[in-house]
Copies of this chain bind each other. A is one copy, B any other.
Amino acid sequence: MRSDEEHAAKMAKKKVAHDKIVAAKQVEKGLLIVHTGKGKGKTSAALGMVVRAVGHGMKVGVVQFVKGAMETGEAPVFRQLGVEFKPMGEGFTWDTQDRARDIATARAAWDEVKRMIADPSYRMVLADELNIVLRYDYLPLDEVLEVLRAKPEMTHVIVTGRNAPVALIEMADLVTDMTLVKHPFREQGVKAQAGVEF
């Protein structure tokens, strides 16, 4: 183990480096944030950001493109916090088996996202699982990118879901890939747990 003196010297150096980085960052702006990847936590991390935004008194809108058929644990809690929380999906696409219906459902959810983004009083808009409907061509990617490009400067927009389109990743300010390391569904016969998965 390193000595206390060595440790203090190392920490002092870290502090100088860290302060320098912070001082160099001056730009304030709304971010386009993407959570993608096969791991868990894409929606959860977005919901955590929603709580932070609420804590800063921001108006927040949430539209879910897949969830909606079943009420989840989080929906009433977010409503209690004053978040406009709209589960507008009908479950995973293999539950409906009706492409025209899935497209209409995706369109209605997207109209809601567009309305929120167009209104600068929303400081954060979460389009949960939008990547999924883009993956199935239920919405034209060009139209989505156009709306995101034209968002008000101070609005944070978060897009989640596996298989984020490359063009969306290129446009985004902050992209995290949630990488699956270990998952109890796959390995241990554990079912989805309340409080963790839904």
A141 to chain B minimum Cβ distance, whole angstroms, is 13
Q: Across the interface, which residues of B come within 8 angstroms of A190, CB to CB? A: 25, 27-29, 31, 173
A1 to chain B minimum Cβ distance, whole angstroms, is 6
Residue of B nearest to A54 (CB): B77
Number of interface residues of A (CB under 8 A): 90
Bound-state Cα–Cα, A75 to B95, Å? 38
Chain A positions 1 through 42: 1 when the CB is less than 8 Å from some CB of chain B, otherwise 0: 100100110011011001001101111111101111101111
Interface of chain A, helix or strand or loop or mixed?
A: mixed
Residue of B nearest to A55 (CB): B73
Bound-state Cα–Cα, A99 to B6, Å? 10
Is B169's CB under 8 angstroms from A31's CB?
Answer: no
Question: At the interface, yes or no: A74 with Cβ under 8 Å from chain B?
Answer: yes
